[in-house]
Amino acid sequence: MDNKKKQILLAERPIGTPDNNTFQFVETGIGQPENGEVLLRTLYVSVDPYMRGRMIDTPSYVAPYELNKVIEGGVIGEVIESKSDHFTQGDVVIGGYGWQTYYTAKETEVRKIDKDIAPISTHLGILGMTGLTAYFGLLEIGKPKEGETVVISGAAGAVGSVVGQIAKIKGARVIGIAGSDEKIQYLTEELHFDEAINYKTTSSLKKDLTKACPNGVDVYFDNVGGEISDAVLAHINKFARIPICGAISSYNLEGHDLGPRVQSTLIKKSALMQGFTVGDFANQFPEGSVSLAKWLQEGKLQYQETIKEGFENIPDAFLDLFKGNNIGKLLVKVADQSS
């Protein structure tokens, strides 16, 4: 076993796109667990767009990261030493302790996961935060009815790809918007979306939407914001529902995110636009997890992961999120599971 652990700290708050100066790698002693604690070795680290928001010092739904502290986020770890009655060596757990290779956790800080229902990495994705985000945002805010049209931006991402499949399960017509031909092919051929539009190569997103949505848009699940959302808004139907999950197009903007104001459209269409984060539905997580696991086991949900290897590649993996290179959940594998 190593006797040092690696950590990645927030070295400075980024303005615009984060770069190498944003992060600092350090090493420190691993330490010993005390009673009620477990020593964890990190297996997978999650990188997610929302983390960009925590890097700046503006009030949001979660506290900003502290400077010179480890960057927190979802992690899958393995118990390598336990001083807790609730865990034994070899248990695999999920926690939020972030970008470090080892961590001494209080037993209340982490939760054991079932290693058998699916690969353990899925607990950071389709069976975890991003799957639940898709589930609750679509079903609690979007509320698609059979035969309605659901449009999803960032459709090939960790959340969007699940949203579309759940919408299909609910009998909706599903149109995905994504940024590469590989993603378009994935959405239509693997996930059986009814249509998918490559916003980077289209000559007119509006025209493509008109063609793909002959009956208008009833639900628009928005992961990106910006001009893509402006275009979709022009197609919404009366009583449309618009869950606002992300606005990745704006996260690295240095100036204001200016665009057409939405108020008049919302009035004309009696439409609802609601921002949310998965934590808003925390007391319904058990229900969501059960449904997702069931659909996964029944083969009704597919998933894809983009897995980078190596702790030192975490910052690059994070930056890849904003380049739109990943399909499905983007993860970094830090170590092999020993058991």
Phi-psi region of 49 (alpha: psi -120 to 50; beta: other; left: phi over 0): alpha
Query: Shortest distance, CB of residue 307 to its own copies, whole angstroms?
Result: 27
| Window of 24-32, 122-130, 195-203, 270-278 that interacts with its own copies by CB under 8 A | 270-278
| Window of 31-39, 174-182, 275-283, 315-323 that interacts with its own copies by CB under 8 A | 275-283
Among 130, 161, 198, 229, binds its own copies (CB under 8 A): 229
Report CA torsion sign: 127, 132, 138, 140.
Answer: positive
| Window of 202-210, 271-279, 285-293, 296-304 that interacts with its own copies by CB under 8 A | 271-279
Residue 196, strand partner residues: 176
Among 277, 284, 304, 313, binds its own copies (CB under 8 A): 277
Which of 203/264 has CB closer to its own copies? 264
# chain residues binding its own copies, by CB under 8 A: 38
Binders of its own copies in range 37-96 (CB under 8 A): 53, 59-61
Report CA torsion sign: 20, 23, 24, 30.
Answer: negative
Rounded distance between C-alpha atoms, residue 192 and residue 336, angstroms: 33
Which of 43/158 has CB closer to its own copies? 158
Tally the residues of the chain.
339
The reply to whether 267 sits near its own copies by the rule CB under 8 A is yes
Rounded distance between C-alpha atoms, residue 206 and residue 224, angstroms: 16
Helical (H) or strand (E) element with 109? none
- For 253, what's the count of Cα atoms within 13 Å in the CB-facing half-sphere? 12
Q: Which two tokens stand for residue 5?
A: 């652990």
Angle between helices 226-233 and 205-212 (to 10 degrees): 50
Phi-psi region of 26 (alpha: psi -120 to 50; beta: other; left: phi over 0): beta
| Window of 177-185, 223-231, 285-293, 312-320 that interacts with its own copies by CB under 8 A | 223-231
The reply to whether 215 sits near its own copies by the rule CB under 8 A is no
The reply to whether 250 sits near its own copies by the rule CB under 8 A is yes
Which parts of this chain interact with its own copies (CB under 8 A)? 53, 59-61, 222, 225-226, 229, 238-239, 244-247, 250, 256-277, 280
